[in-house]
Chains A and B, each alone.
Chain A
Amino acid sequence: DGGITQSPKYLFRKEGQNVTLSCEQNLNHDAMYWYRQDPGQGLRLIYYSQIVNDFQKGDIAEGYSVSREKKESFPLTVTSAQKNPTAFYLCASSIQGNTYEQYFGPGTRLTVT
């Protein structure tokens, strides 16, 4: 089955530690995105990548880093510099072109204490 997978579903970390969230897709989509969602708020764009080896900052990139070494994979690292890392992180992908519809993975719920 084609889709987007994120792992793990729940993640707990101590403050000051970096943590990497996985996102893999087998939809052959060119573009991939990372969002965070906080309670009662809409999704906010962290980073996006249009093609392999290229990525751009979104609206709230501070404290995060990404890589895009393979078309299928777009991991997100939440660094210790991110002041409020506890959130629901969602990865999405879309095909190149005019449709703009994005398809989401199941998300990773990160809790930092």
Chain B
Amino acid sequence: RKEVEQDPGPFNVPEGATVAFNCTYSNSASQSFFWYRQDCRKEPKLLMSVYSSGNEDGRFTAQLNRASQYISLLIRDSKLSDSATYLCVVNWGVIGGGTSYGKLTFGQGTILTVHP
């Protein structure tokens, strides 16, 4: 089983649609969770962190279910500019020396295409 697993898609949705992405992770000791966005042939950029209580940033809502080891990202009122690959990212803390510098494990990404 992959450490972080995402549905690769692609998801093709019309402008204005609501779309949801799911992600599961295998390590129950995972501490931090993120969604990154990666445009074609560019570097990943942090979209939002995911908190246990769930969090919202404009049209984007992230949810975490620790019991099921599951993370989700909901995008409302999709825009053409939302077209990208969305990466689910999980951290389970210490890489060495007792100080946590964040060993991030990346899912393979979910491709979203928003069309007119």
Chain A residues packing against B (C-beta within 8 Å): 30-31, 40-45, 48, 50, 56, 88, 90, 94, 96-107, 109
Chain B residues packing against A (C-beta within 8 Å): 4, 8, 31-32, 34, 41-46, 49, 87, 91, 95-97, 99-109
Chain A, Cβ-Cβ closest to B102: A100
Known contacts A41-B108, A42-B109, A50-B101, A101 near B46 by CB under 8 Å: yes
Interchain CB contact under 8 A, A48 and B42:
no
Please indicate the chain A residues that have their CB under 8 angstroms from the CB of B105 in the complex. 42
Please indicate the chain B residues that have their CB under 8 angstroms from the CB of A40 in the complex. 8, 108
Interchain CB contact under 8 A, A96 and B99:
yes
Interchain CB contact under 8 A, A50 and B32:
no
Interchain CB contact under 8 A, A101 and B49:
yes
Please indicate the chain B residues that have their CB under 8 angstroms from the CB of A88 in the complex. 41
